[in-house]
Amino acid sequence: MTARETAVAVAHPNIALIKYWGKRDERLVLPFTDSLSMTLDVFPTTTAVRLAPDAATDHVVMDGAPAEGEVLRRATTFLDLVREHAGRRERAVVDTRNTVPVGAGLASSAGGFAALALAAAHVYGLPGDAEQLSRLARRGSGSAARSVFGGFVVWHAGDPDAPYPDRASYAEPVADARLDAALVAVVLEEGPKPVSSREAMRRTVATSPLYRDWVTDSRADLARMYTALRDGDMTAAGTITERNALAMHAAMEAARPAVRYRTTATDAVLGHVRRLRAEGVGAWATMDAGPNVKVLCAPADAQRIADRMREVTDARVVVAHRGPGARLRQVTA
Ligand code: DP6
């Protein structure tokens, strides 16, 4: 691939049905466990990257305002990695637009770093296929490795004893997934979370007495999830999804000090989901590093579940289906 001056890429967030929680290598962003997600068709991030050969530093604009602090540091560190791989030195101008609340446990970093990785790889002329792009996106944010692909996606933790562990950890679409699913996002809070997922993971791994069991359980959940996806078994997929999320939250709540993203509003929504199930509606909840709840269900039930959630909460409710992988929208030489 030859270098281009500007590239614009679009990527969507993904929601993990089998969660990624805990890094065995912080620098390389290598997880302890495999994870599996569904890429959504809502909340895209669009990122333009332009080379700025005369600039002394990178310039990053997020949602119309210059990025600073941790956001700027993470973007610049990521661009440094791309430059190192490409053997280039020019700085860049990055303009990124989110349609998802940032840092609220709605996977903004997944779509964000998948889009940045794709656009930056193009402008710096980095060669590579989608698998390599997913390795690169992983270095920005672990879950971004999965947003490179559409539909159901598995991210392999990789063999820790592999000669090059970085190469062994990448995402790819789940082969033969026959499940058709929707996710109803119940957006209780749009503000950034009090503890970053990065810090919360670190604390869970270092101090939670439940972390080891979480790792063992999660491996078993993944094996069962593959079967559920291949059989198109919504009840099994939903049951595993909810159990896996609750176990992840239990592990972090047992950390010292505890990490608690669930609020009373979260618990109320979980109660509504259980009541829907008692009424015979196939609905299962999952939560990430924030109070918001996503309800996994068959597409035919999504509207009914969304209507019910709107009746019982003031939350913004968004229905999502399986969405596409990261793609380039525009490249100019
Ligand atoms: C709870 O991918 O945001 O959403 O790698 O530190 O950037 P970093 O973490 P991030 O964590 C996502 C955690 C999760 C579960 C998941 O998406 O698998």
Domain with CATH 3.30.70.890 in the chain: 182-321
Rounded to the nearest angstrom, the distance between the alpha carbon of 200 and the centre of ligand 1 is 10
Q: List where CATH 3.30.230.10 sits in the chain.
A: 6-177
pLDDT of residue 190: 81
Can you give the pTM of this predicted structure? 0.96
Alpha helices in 254-326 (DSSP H): 264-278, 299-312
Number of H helices and E strands in the chain, helices first, is: 10, 16
Say what percent of the chain tops pLDDT 90.
91
Burial class (CB in 10 A: 0-12, 13-18, 19+), 89: exposed
Query: How wide is the angle at C-alpha 143 spanned by C-alphas 141 and 146, nearest 5°?
Result: 125
Mean confidence (pLDDT) of the chain: 95
Rounded Cα gap, residues 47 and 7, in angstroms: 8
What is the CATH code of the structural domain delimited by 6-177?
3.30.230.10
Residues within a 6 A CB radius of ligand 1: 16, 19-21, 29, 35, 107, 109, 141-143, 197-198, 288-289
pLDDT digits (tens, 9 = 90+) for 42-63: 999 999 999 999 999 999 999 9
For residue 2, pLDDT beyond 60: no
Distance CA 314, CA 136 (A): 39
Distance 21 CA to ligand 1 centre (A): 7
Give the Cα separation of 33 and 215 in Å (integer): 6
Q: How far is CA 67 from CA 74, 94, 95, 240, 270, in A?
A: 10, 10, 10, 38, 35
CA gap 279, 265 in Å, rounded: 21
**Superfamily of domain covering 182-321:** GHMP kinase, C-terminal domain (3.30.70.890)
CA of 34 to the centre of ligand 1 (A): 12
**CA 204 – CA 261 distance, rounded (Å):** 13
Residue pLDDT, tens place only, 76-88: 999 999 999 999 9
Say yes or no to pLDDT of 3 above 60: no
